[in-house]
Amino acid sequence: MNEKAHYLLIIALLFFLGFISACSNSMVDKIDRGSDYSYQPGFPELRIASSAFIDSSNNSKISVSGDIVYGSLIYSNKDGVFEAPFSIEIAINNTDDSQTPVIREIFSDTLRGKSENIIHDQDVYQFRREFSINPGTYDIQVAITDNSSQKQVIREATTIVPSANSNVANITNVSLLAKNSSIDEGSFNQATTYHIPSKSDSLRFQFQVTNNAPDSEFEFQMRLLKFRNDTSIARPMNFLNYSPSSMPYIGIDYDEFEVIQSSVRTFNQSGNVIIEYNFHELPRGNYRLEVQSEDNSESDIYKAIEFSIKSPNFPAVKTPRELARPLYYLMDENEFNKMMSIEDPDELKAAIDRFWLTNIENSRVAKDVLSLYYERVEEANKQFSNFKEGWKTDPGMIYILFGPPIYLDTFSDQMAWYYSYNRNDPEERFFFDLSKIRSKYYPFYNYILQRDGSLYNVQRRQIQMWLSGLILQDSL
């Protein structure tokens, strides 16, 4: 090959790689990954999602859905009924003029329950509002105020509202709805986070195809992908560090996936059509449902939504198996494997009770320790979940065993937790490395504990604090 031909080949290769990179960037930008929990201890827990659609009268609309965790509000007892009043404010702003809301709505309600258990209840109150609006791109802000504590939390989302009159074929963003089919009156509700508890065993994906051009054919393909990801429980603090090639370090591999289902549909008529895909009892894991069309004359159309199927009552732990798994941090391997081999739920629950009462002989103290342990498990799920449950992560393990740090430092690729005002005490500080910088290509924080053999005594001592009940007096 002469020099000129070699030069032209390099230019062509660079152009091809640039084209592939541009296509990849464009596709990644159009993946909706939902939101995280953004958990703040002591504040109301609000999760929101928004979507846009064209109704049967050809009007463009925005739908705003929200979940409020019952146990996150402050309750007062009024004549045997526990009540927690709150207020919601929804503000919708056009991104071209964010100073003045296009729409603002305020409403109030009160959560009620006859049992004191409601103050710990992780189930949610759900609301949904629809608004007629002009086509465009909008920022949605939803604020909840706990009227008892006056604490407020704000959540945000962005939604593109399609035009009903466009002559260019298009696909709206994909909405994910879920329901628990074991509840007779259960209905589909829009998912408000990336994390879907597996008790929501029926999933519905919904979007609209707009094709107003006469006599034009529009074809698109749907694929449901399941990605390979780490599912392991954090290994003990004194073990060897993870290899950079191991799955716990990689976390999730977007280059390795299984196609769960694929289909192609063609439309020959004009108008707006709602498309739905339903899936039942998907196994736990991380997924992407993508819709793509290459028929558009201006550019390819690509819309996608990612989600994760977690444990049945996530982020809460309720079933015997959900309660048993986090005991891994307090047991030796043989003891844990023996417990997890119990298949009968009643026998497993009895084994869990025996574990706590055998170690903590005082039943009242055991109840308080058990309550604290699972409170931390649930908080770890809300704060550290990524491609797997938060309690399984390295920060989740440290949080459960040692509680929240006195203070922490974060850097671009590292995090430090301190449990003493003496930063130089090696037994009261923990360092975490970030396996990958979070980005649109890798949307998770995957912090890996810097393990060391010297941490064996630190972990062993903390486990004994739990098993003796002394954890109630001193967490480190």
Q: Look at 311 and 423; give whichever has higher pLDDT.
A: 311
% of the chain with per-residue pLDDT over 90? 74
- Give the pLDDT band (50/70/90) at residue 260: very high
- Give the pLDDT band (50/70/90) at residue 301: confident
pLDDT tens digits for 44-54?
A: 999 999 999 88
CA 118 to centroid of chain Cα atoms = 23
Question: Mean pLDDT over residues 263-280, rounded?
Answer: 87
pLDDT tens digits for 361-395?
A: 899 999 999 999 999 999 999 999 999 999 999 99
Burial class (CB in 10 A: 0-12, 13-18, 19+), 37: buried
Contacts of 177 (CB under 8 A, 6+ apart): 188, 189, 190, 191, 203, 204, 205, 206
Q: Look at 298 and 236; give whichever has higher pLDDT.
A: 236
- Give the pLDDT band (50/70/90) at residue 14: very low
pLDDT exceeds 90 at position 282: yes
Question: Mean pLDDT over residues 302-315, rounded?
Answer: 96
pLDDT exceeds 70 at position 11: no
- Give the pLDDT band (50/70/90) at residue 200: very high
pLDDT exceeds 50 at position 7: no
pLDDT exceeds 60 at position 17: no
Burial class (CB in 10 A: 0-12, 13-18, 19+), 176: buried
pLDDT at 187: 87
Question: Mean pLDDT over residues 351-357, rounded?
Answer: 96
CA distances from 364 to 335, 367, 368, 470 (A): 24, 5, 6, 13
Q: Look at 471 and 99; give whichever has higher pLDDT.
A: 471
- Give the pLDDT band (50/70/90) at residue 211: confident
- Give the pLDDT band (50/70/90) at residue 172: confident
Average pLDDT, the chain: 90
pLDDT at 16: 40
Spatial CA neighbour of 277 closest among 348, 216, 223: 223
CA 242 to centroid of chain Cα atoms = 24
% of the chain with per-residue pLDDT over 70? 91
User: What amino acid is encoded at 357 in this protein?
Assistant: L
Place of tokens 């819709």: 291
pLDDT at 298: 54
| Rounded-to-integer distance, Cα 11 and Cα 32, Å | 34
Both structure tokens of 273: 């059509």
Question: Mean pLDDT over residues 432-460, rounded?
Answer: 95
Burial class (CB in 10 A: 0-12, 13-18, 19+), 378: buried
- Give the pLDDT band (50/70/90) at residue 214: low
Contacts of 351 (CB under 8 A, 6+ apart): 324, 339, 342
pLDDT exceeds 50 at position 10: no
Question: Mean pLDDT over residues 309-330, rounded?
Answer: 97
Label each residue of 123-144 as H, E or C: CEEEEEEEEECCCEEEEEEEEE
pLDDT at 213: 66
pLDDT exceeds 50 at position 129: yes
Are the C-beta atoms of residues 30 and 303 closer than 8 Å to each other?
A: yes
Place of tokens 């964010």: 98
pLDDT exceeds 80 at position 297: no
pLDDT at 424: 87
| Rounded-to-integer distance, Cα 330 and Cα 391, Å | 13
pLDDT at 306: 97
pLDDT at 98: 64
User: What amino acid is encoded at 191 in this protein?
Assistant: A
Q: Look at 185 and 320; give whichever has higher pLDDT.
A: 320
**DSSP H or E stretch at residue 396:** helix 394-402
Number of CB atoms found within 10 A of residue 205's CB: 19
Q: Which of 12-21, 328-337, 402-411 is predicted with the least confidence, judged by mean pLDDT? A: 12-21
pLDDT exceeds 60 at position 428: yes
pLDDT at 426: 85
Spatial CA neighbour of 211 closest among 303, 301, 305, 304: 301
pLDDT exceeds 90 at position 9: no
pLDDT exceeds 50 at position 278: yes
pLDDT tens digits for 90-107?
A: 999 998 876 678 999 999
pLDDT at 12: 41
